[in-house]
Structure 1
Amino acid sequence: MNGRHDAEPVAGGGYRFRLPDEMVGVAGMVEIELALETGGWRLWRRGLPTVTVGRDGGEVVSFTLEASRDSQRIAYSLTPDLPAQSELRLAIDGARLVGAPRLHWHPRPRLNGPFLILAPHPDDAELAAGGFYSDHADSLHIVTLSCGEKLKGVDRQYLDGLDRTLADATRRKAEWRRWNVYASPMLAGLPAERSTLIGVPDGQGWPLIHDGTPQRPVWPLREARAFNRAELPFSEADVLEREHVLAALRQMIDAIRPNTILVTDPEFDPHADHRATSLALAMALAKSAHRPTQVMLYANHYRRAYPPGPAFQPAWMPPRSIAIDDLFDDTPTPMLWPLDAERQKHKALLLDSMSDLSPRANRRQQRRRARRAGFVPTFAADRDPYFQAAVRSTELFRVLPADAFVAGWFRRLDTAD
């Protein structure tokens, strides 16, 4: 049910809206479209604009908005125990609404395991779905494509001065992050045998998968895959070809037989390796013996945007205006996965266990980050800013049938040709 409704203004300011009959007793979410006037906003004076949503004297939830975007969306969780006449109220501070908010109601899609998460790099599964996969650790596998070994310079290695050459430092980073692939999920109860690494060279996923250009890994495949419980095909190859990756994915899909696969969102995530991971899944599914029921999409990067505000508030919902592509005929259904306070803290541990997210910033760097972001971090002010973006009270996904996912990608490939 994706009906659109207008909220009603209330005396004294703000808006209210009632739960439709079709959503009574149904878990899901309401997507709230906001048309805003934010001109002249001064971050250094007031911080970021905020919207609060509350119901019938219950909990009030705050959402931080971007400082200068005219069209924004927020996603508010609905639980089955909401009474039929429940009334939600919305108020905004720091910006002016242009017209009444527009509402879209979305029942939560039915999810069935086993689950498989495809991650472009170590930490992508944790950033997007650390709470979700902790809640499904007994029926979930993670397949990571790349070690994430790319290093911009010797001065950017994790331990200053450890290695003298870029080649040595890069291999060291690959070894370090390979450990993350298996060790970090164990904090969530996921045994190491349900984590698998393929060994795609970091930063080369798109030319390898989309263009079919073979790549030579800086770390031999046999070494990269040394901790895998599953023996993947072509592990002795010196050069990695597209079919080698697709064969590995098909083997894992056919062995795990997942009903639901989580992968990067090709309509919102512009990172080339992330788009390559999504495309690789579509190509693998086209020839796999097993076809899952549905695909859940997640995005860790966005075009011209960064999730605003500190941690512990609901997930940021990107405006459609920043989408990078339009692949699917039917818009995927947005879905929120709730994380209570303890689960959010657990997710923070998962992220801090990741080598790429845990380096500390000095006080000067912290102040510069806070000024640029427009807010003071809620916690972990010295960590990577992804902590604030990822540790939220909900995780946002978009869900669509697996057949529609594959068809959308192949339609895009046909158009490109």
Structure 2
Amino acid sequence: MLILYILLIIMFLIAFMLIKTRDKIYGYNQKKDYCYDFKNPKYFDLSSPIDLKEYTNNQTLILKLEIKSTFFSKLFAPYVNIYSQEKTEKTFFEHSAKGVRYIDISSFVGGYKIILSSKNCKIVSNKVEIFDFENLDIKNKKVLIISPHADDAEIASFGLYSDAKESLIVTVTAGETVSNDYVLADNNRDKSRLKGKLRVHDALTIGMLGNVSYENSIALGYFNETIKNMYKNQDNIISSKTSEISDINYFRMVNHSKIQTNPLASSKWDSLVSDFVHIINSTKIDFIVTLHPQIDSNTDHQYITLALLEAMEELACKDIKLLTSTNHLTQNEIYPYGDIFSTQALVPRFDTTFIFKDIYSHQLSKKKQIYKFYALESMHDLREPLIHIGFIRVFRAALKSLRRFINGKEKSYYRRSVRTNEIFYVTDYKELKKAYKDIK
């Protein structure tokens, strides 16, 4: 009996520690309302099935509801199940979440008898609001994807770029900063060069899994974690931090493509802006996909988008729409929340707003989700490397995954990125430029 009591005490202490840990992982108060100022809602009552037959043009539909978590949400993530006669989708929230949230129900457009149920939380009121946004008709558009590093295009927009009429992927940096995963090289310089070469190869080829031809993918060869420094020191050549290289042509791969780039490229800010000017001029695209500087914390992402905006300003672009997203949410590295193959909800938005005009949610079939998974798995920098070399590496990889699963800090891009949808914030480039008043 004493052993049983001891085991119960240990389990209680572990549960207490997990609850405390999960209260801190989000970087904000999970019990605050999300604040989006959407206009012209339509009102529905969850006491009976929702009829969405009036929405017939594949619009993006965002449902606003209020939730309150149960005690079990402190340990198990709360979520809402959305049912129709054809399918079920889950949307997850934060542990201990409470308040107004916005979920994507776009895949249920045109359906009827839509039912919501909840797990580890309660829907506070049956009165909900639905907002609809313009259908962007991606399948008939030409899209330019700005990928700061190899894998950013796939994480944010594999489904979108594989469904567009034509897509072009521009990977800006070589991503060569040293990591301990490239242990077969002899020293940090060689590790860095090997890593950069492998990631450039990934950037040029993996898009083919999403119907992007080799000729439509280029790598500009700028150096990892240097873009902000290029902006701050615009008269200087900024060298790689780890590869002992200052000439971006070492990693640059553009000659195989008809996409025009800066013929005198160097590791300087005006060169990057000029690259974007040449690219936009030569491609005649409808949409540009990039990372949003106010909701993505990576400085390369923020300043590459700034260079893009300066190029668009120079060209006085009028008819090109920006589709922005985040791969590294500013508050934490675990958004989107919940399981792989679930539905991505809108990012947390509170008193500090971020700039955008509309929402576009691109829907991924199960087949498309599977292809996205294997596109990510093909990236050298995302999969667990060299675990086949020895038992110790296998054990360490398993232990790391288990620890992250238990404490709720699972950062896996497979879990975060392979979803039923990809959400983009449609933004005007002139308005987005204003975001940099705070970032600088």
TM range (shorter): 0.7 to 0.9
Match of 1:29 among 35, 41, 60: 60
- In the alignment, structure 1 residue 60 sits paired with structure 2 residue 88: yes
Contact 2:313 2:430 in 1 (8 A): no
- What is the TM-score of this pair, normalised by structure 2? 0.78
Kept after mapping to 2: 8 A contact 1:38/1:70: yes
Q: Which residue number corresponds to residue 406 of structure 1?
A: 429
Residue 118 of structure 2, aligned match among 92, 101, 109: 92
Q: What does residue range 138-149 of structure 1 map to in structure 2 within 5 Å? A: 139-149=166-176
Q: Does 1:251 align with 2:278?
A: yes
Shift of 1:322: 8.8
1:65-76 alignment, distance < 5 Å: 65-71=93-99, 72-76=101-105
Give distance in 2, aligned partners of 1:412 and 1:342.
37
Alignment partner of 2:261 out of 217, 232, 239: 232
Cα distance change on mapping 1:211 and 1:399 into 2, 3 Å: farther
Q: Is the 8 A contact 1:149 1:174 kept in 2?
A: yes
What is the rounded CA distance, in whole Å, between the counterparts of 1:63 and 1:80 in structure 2?
16
How many residues align structurally?
381
Counting only pairs closer than 5 Å after superposition, residues 150-299 of structure 1 correspond to structure 2 as 150-152=177-179, 156-158=180-182, 160=183, 162-209=184-231, 212=234, 214=236, 215-217=238-240, 218=243, 219=245, 220-226=247-253, 228-229=255-256, 230=259, 232-233=261-262, 235=264, 237=266, 240-288=267-315, 291-299=318-326
- Distance in 2 (CA, whole Å) between partners of 1:223 and 1:357 is 23
Q: 1:35–1:101: 8 Å Cα contact kept in structure 2? A: no
CA RMSD of aligned residues (A): 2.9
1:4 — aligned with what? 41
Per-residue deviation at 1:26? 2.6
Match of 1:379 in 2: none
**Does structure 2 conserve the Cα–Cα contact (< 8 Å) formed by 1:197 and 1:225?**
yes
CA distance in structure 1 between the aligned counterparts of 2:200 and 2:185, rounded to whole angstroms:
18
In 2 relative to 1, CA 302–80 (structure 1 residues): closer, same or farther, beyond 3 Å?
closer
**2:389 is equivalent to residue 367 of structure 1:** no
- 5+ unaligned residues in a row in structure 2: which ranges? 1-37, 386-393
- How many Å separate the matches in 1 of 2:417 and 2:284? 29
SS at match of 1:268: coil
The CA deviation string for residues 84-114 of structure 1, in whole angstroms up to 9 with x for no partner, is xx34332222123444564232234334522
Cα offset, 1:33, TM superposition: 2.8
Query: What secondary structure, in the 3-state scheme, does the structure 2 residue paired with 1:398 have?
Result: strand
Aligned to 2:144: 116
Do the aligned partners of 2:141 and 2:286 also contact (CA within 8 Å) in 1?
yes
* TM-score (structure 1 length as normaliser): 0.82
SS of alignment partner, residue 315 of structure 1: coil
From the superposition, tell whether residues 326 and 65 of structure 1 become closer, same or farther in structure 2 (CA, over 3 Å): closer
Give the 3-state SS of the residue equivalent to 2:310 in structure 1.
Answer: helix
In structure 2, do the counterparts of structure 1 residues 6 and 289 end up closer, same or farther at CA, with 3 Å as the change threshold?
A: closer
Question: What letter matches 2:408 in structure 1?
Answer: A
Residues 120 and 145 in structure 1, CA contact (< 8 A), matched pair in contact too: yes
d(CA) in 2 for partners of 1:257, 1:100 = 47
Instruction: State the alpha-carbon separation in 1 of the partners of residues 126 and 229 from structure 2.
Output: 45
User: What percent of counterpart residues are identical?
Assistant: 20
Letter in 2 for 1:60: T
Find out whether 1:349 has 2:349 as its counterpart: no
